[in-house]
């Protein structure tokens, strides 16, 4: 390593760099000194794919390079030798329409190693992959230390030992530390590679931002705006009064370009005041008669205010049973029902409510979301199954009478955000409803919770409303941060599960 360095530049390769490039390559591969790239080959590479050829320049000297081609994923996975990948060094395999960046060479002059310059080359390759909207980076990496173990272990065992850091390999160890994962072992890959016994490991890095069907409109948003409605329980004269109050809030959050409006569990309960002379099971069944009208009206609101509405929950009768359900009314005019699965003892005792039996996620124009009602969030299995289906946002409409009940919902919701690497939005009812049996008091604080890592708030709370006060909470969440967390987080909860010891599946 030089005693002092004045400047380091990372840029695209130029043909004028060839002499220094050749010198650094020969010094980087002393065991294959005659295998350097010829000038006409570099000219050809620059002609076919100039943006894919990169160099590191230290104090005006080319000390390292990363060279690559574009190929199809099918070609990358099926091609088994270096000659075949490069078209016998003619680069005829370069495909401008390919979705994969195939790395054909990376090297750093030994005199400049220890400065993490190789990491810079890998990082800029990843940026190039993202900028070109490519699916992945793929290449075959040598395993030069394998020759020392050839009489003891197979290449497969050698790779496992390198992964576990029981054995060090100057090439493979570096590649694994840069988030590449192995696909398979290749035999007879690079002719003349005596150190690796001509073995190589096919490696891949996936671009989490890849969009296989780019569109100018109707693309899924990376930043999603949530409008949470902390609903005040109050006496309502009729169904129209409820619609007027709901429309006020929908108008408010849509006025700030929210993508979702979240209402609380049983926010329609004030309408039960008309049935307070009946028994509680009878009153809830009367309230259920309004559910279809509420759904239709919220469908209308979703279209006219251009917002996806999660209708909290309300009673619904099917085959003689009462369910606690809600609707996802999408701004495209469609709707889907979700049902509360775990029913509290209070709901069973007073209203005779039956639990649903569908665990599902929902596709929206803002990505895949999950919805669980109140008590359901206290059962981690539901949201984990949803996370396995690709859920990024979990919505939790809730209704709790005391701060104790709210605390259970809050802390379980926070746990779901951390363990499933997702956002969790909760919204509940506040205030009092003295003229409705079993609905006397409510306590709530709407909030949006996040995972706990450097890209998120240190306490895992994106935003919170004022407790027990009617208001809205408008919060932006960035879906790309979840993708980065999943791949590069301090811990990788979803990836590090021990599937060899346990599994979770729907019955």
Q: What's residue 214's pLDDT?
A: 60
pLDDT tens-digit map of 109-123: 999 888 889 888 999
pLDDT tens-digit map of 131-176: 999 999 999 999 999 999 999 999 999 999 999 999 999 999 999 9
Query: Among this protein's residues, is 129 annotated catalytic?
Result: no
Q: Report the DSSP beta bridge partners of residue 65.
A: 55, 107
Catalytic residue among 329, 374, 412, 429: 374
- For 382, the token pair is 């539901």
Domains of the chain: 8-206 (3.40.630.30), 224-488 (3.60.110.10)
Catalytic residue among 340, 368, 410, 462: 340
Query: Among this protein's residues, is 340 annotated catalytic?
Result: yes
pLDDT at 2 over 70: no
Q: Report the DSSP beta bridge partners of residue 228.
A: 262, 473
| Percent of residues, the chain, with pLDDT higher than 70 | 97
Q: What's residue 215's pLDDT?
A: 52
Q: Are 414 and 460 in contact (CB under 8 A)?
A: yes
Average pLDDT estimate for 59-79: 95
Q: What's residue 36's pLDDT?
A: 83
pLDDT tens-digit map of 175-213: 999 889 999 999 999 988 889 999 999 999 999 888 887
Query: Among this protein's residues, is 160 annotated catalytic?
Result: no
Q: Report the DSSP beta bridge partners of residue 314.
A: 325
| Percent of residues, the chain, with pLDDT higher than 90 | 84
Average pLDDT estimate for 281-286: 96
Phi-psi region of 312 (alpha: psi -120 to 50; beta: other; left: phi over 0): left
Residue 383: name the closest of 462, 432, 451, 438 by CA: 451
Residues 6+ apart with CB under 8 A from 372: 338, 340, 341, 382, 383, 394, 395, 396
Q: How confident is the model at residue 33 (pLDDT cuts 50, 70, 90)?
A: low
pLDDT at 251 over 90: yes
Q: What's residue 57's pLDDT?
A: 93
Q: How far apart, in whole angstroms, are the C-alpha atoms of residue 469 and residue 473? A: 11
Catalytic residue among 204, 265, 280, 470: 265
Q: How far apart, in whole angstroms, are the C-alpha atoms of residue 71 and residue 189? A: 18
Average pLDDT estimate for 22-35: 80
Average pLDDT estimate for 97-114: 92
């Amino acid at each position: 390593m030089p005693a002092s360095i004045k400047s380091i530049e990372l840029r695209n390769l130029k043909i004028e760099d060839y002499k220094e490039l050749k010198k650094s390559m020969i010094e980087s591969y002393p065991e294959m000194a005659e295998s350097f790239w010829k000038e006409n080959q570099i000219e050809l590479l620059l002609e076919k794919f100039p943006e894919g050829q990169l160099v590191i320049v230290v104090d005006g000297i080319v000390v390292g390079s990363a060279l690559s081609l574009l190929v199809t994923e099918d070609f990358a996975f099926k091609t088994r030798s270096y000659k075949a990948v490069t078209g016998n060094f003619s680069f005829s395999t370069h495909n401008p329409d390919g979705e994969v960046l195939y790395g054909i060479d990376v090297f750093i002059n030994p005199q400049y190693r220890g400065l993490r310059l190789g990491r810079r080359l890998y990082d800029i390759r990843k940026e190039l992959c993202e900028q070109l909207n490519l699916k992945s980076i793929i290449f075959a990496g040598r395993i030069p230390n394998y020759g020392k173990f050839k009489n003891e272990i197979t290449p497969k065992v050698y790779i496992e030992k390198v992964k576990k850091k029981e054995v060090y390999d100057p090439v493979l160890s570096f590649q694994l530390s840069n988030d590449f994962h192995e696909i398979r072992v290749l035999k007879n890959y690079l002719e003349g590679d005596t150190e690796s016994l001509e073995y190589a490991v096919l490696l891949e890095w996936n671009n989490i931002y890849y969009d296989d069907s780019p569109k100018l409109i109707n693309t899924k948003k990376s930043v999603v705006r949530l409008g949470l409605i902390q609903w005040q329980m109050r006496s309502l004269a009729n169904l129209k009064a409820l619609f007027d109050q709901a429309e006020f809030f929908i108008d408010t959050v849509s006025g700030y370009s929210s993508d979702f409006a979240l209402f609380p569990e049983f926010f329609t309960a004030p309408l039960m005041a008309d049935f307070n002379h009946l028994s509680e099971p009878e009153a809830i069944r009367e309230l259920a008669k309004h559910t279809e009208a509420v759904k239709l009206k919220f469908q209308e609101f979703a279209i006219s205010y251009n917002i996806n509405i999660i209708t909290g929950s309300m009673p619904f009768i099917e085959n003689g049973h009462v369910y606690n359900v809600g609707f996802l009314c999408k701004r495209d005019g469609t709707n889907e029902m979700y049902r509360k699965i775990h029913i509290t003892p209070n709901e069973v005792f007073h209203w005779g409510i039956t639990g649903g039996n569908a665990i599902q996620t929902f596709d929206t124009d803002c990505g895949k979301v999950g919805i669980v009602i109140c008590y359901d969030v206290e059962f981690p299995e539901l949201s984990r199954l949803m996370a396995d289906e690709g859920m990024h946002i979990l919505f939790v409409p809730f209704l709790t009478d005391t701060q104790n009940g709210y605390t259970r919902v809050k802390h379980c919701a926070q746990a779901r955000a951390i363990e499933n690497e997702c956002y969790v939005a909760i919204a509940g009812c506040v205030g009092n409803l003295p003229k409705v049996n079993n609905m006397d008091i409510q306590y709530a604080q709407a909030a949006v919770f996040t995972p706990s890592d450097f890209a998120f708030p240190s306490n895992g709370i994106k935003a919170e409303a004022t407790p027990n006060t009617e208001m809205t909470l408008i919060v932006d969440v960035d879906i790309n941060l979840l993708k980065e967390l999943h791949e590069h987080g301090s811990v990788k909860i979803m990836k590090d599960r021990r599937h060899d010891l346990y599994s979770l599946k729907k019955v």
